[in-house]
Amino acid sequence: MPAQSHPLLRLSQITKTFGTIRAVWNLDLEVYPGDFLAIFGPNGAGKTTLLRIIASLTQPTSGRIEFSQKNSSQNRQQVGYVSHQSLLYNELTGFENLLFYARLYGIGNAQDRADEMLAKMGLEQAGDQLVREYSRGMKQRLTLARALLHEPQLLLLDEPYTGLDQHGSRLFTQVLEGLKEEGRTVLLITHNLGEGLALCTRAVIQHRGVLVFQAARQEFEKSEFEKLYFRAVEPGARSQEPGARSQESGVRSQESESRIEKSESRSQNREVGDQRS
């Protein structure tokens, strides 16, 4: 992460509970301009909830979110969000969808901007087609175009590869690579370790609402991360003795090992502290 810059986004002690369920638990995270952060984790780890909190779609139960700008409507202006759903109107054309959102965001020359984004995503030929006639891949690229319309400082992608075939995935990855080259700040949630690791500059593992691992991409190998990931998210991983782990892991670097254990122990301490209070 670029140490010289201020974080674009800082999450401090974020907790979100739904009744007795802890979706996100005492989570701290800083996102810097130019970061391409991949968040991995099994289903139910609280990744989507985390993204919804950042997008201001859900209020955290406790904790603080600080954007580089303070005003909440400006926060919304800073964020582009791609969710499981397309957020597109099936009965409008691709162009009409982008035009509608461009106007909501108050973009001057909305028509030109919609045309520009269609061209950028390779959809200029399909601009006049109703979205319900789009393939899944086309729809996903249009979704990304919608999220980028207003030039957000932070792009949130929640499992954007869901439902895409291999061709669609490759096209989508090319688009994301383009965004990375442009230096955009991206938070990507994915189950696809290969795609995520190929793109990210920083990787995070979230499990049971807690960030259990966080490191810059150059600090670990892909194979090492895969083992680390499955170890971190396997049932009962947090209750295991640290010693048992180090005996088994010949691949994991000691640095990664200690990082994951520190994260876990921090979260466990917080839980204990919380129970005491």
Q: By the criterion CB under 8 A, which residues form the site for other proteins?
A: 55-59, 73-74, 76-77, 79, 81, 83-92, 96, 100-101, 103-106, 130, 146
The structure tokens 């319309």 sit at 149
Distance CA 208, CA 229 (A): 13
Q: Which is nearer to other proteins, 110 or 203 (CB)?
A: 110
Cα(262)–Cα(231) distance, integer angstroms: 15
Dist. CA 109–CA 126, nearest whole Å:
20
- The packing angle between helices 110-120 and 136-148, to 10°, is 130
In angstroms, what is the minimal distance from the CB of 50 to other proteins? 15
**Which among 7, 21, 140, 13 is positioned nearest to 82, based on CA atoms?**
140
Measured from the CB of residue 214, what is the shortest distance to other proteins in angstroms? 27
DSSP state for residue 7 in the 8-state scheme: P
Please report where in the chains the tokens 């009744």 appear, as a residue.
19
CB of 115 to other proteins, least distance (A): 18
CB of 79 to other proteins, least distance (A): 7
In contact, 42 and 207? CB cutoff 8 Å = yes
Which of residues 43 and 73 has its CB atom nearest to other proteins in the complex?
A: 73
Give the nearest distance from C-beta 66 to other proteins in angstroms.
Answer: 18
Give the nearer residue to other proteins in terms of CB position, either 96 or 115: 96
Please say which residue, 106 or 243, places its beta carbon nearer to other proteins: 106
Cβ proximity to other proteins, 1 vs 87, nearer residue = 87
Choose between 93 and 249: whose C-beta lies nearer to other proteins.
Answer: 93
In the complex, the smallest distance separating the C-beta of residue 109 from other proteins, rounded to whole angstroms, is: 13
Rounded Cα distance between 223 and 29, Å, is: 25
Nearest distance from residue 226's CB to other proteins, in Å?
32
> Strands, E, within the chain: which ranges?
9-18, 21-31, 36-40, 62-67, 79-82, 154-158, 185-189, 202-207, 210-216
Between 141 and 217, CB nearer to other proteins: 141
CA distances (Å), 118 to each of 128, 142, 182, in order? 10, 7, 18
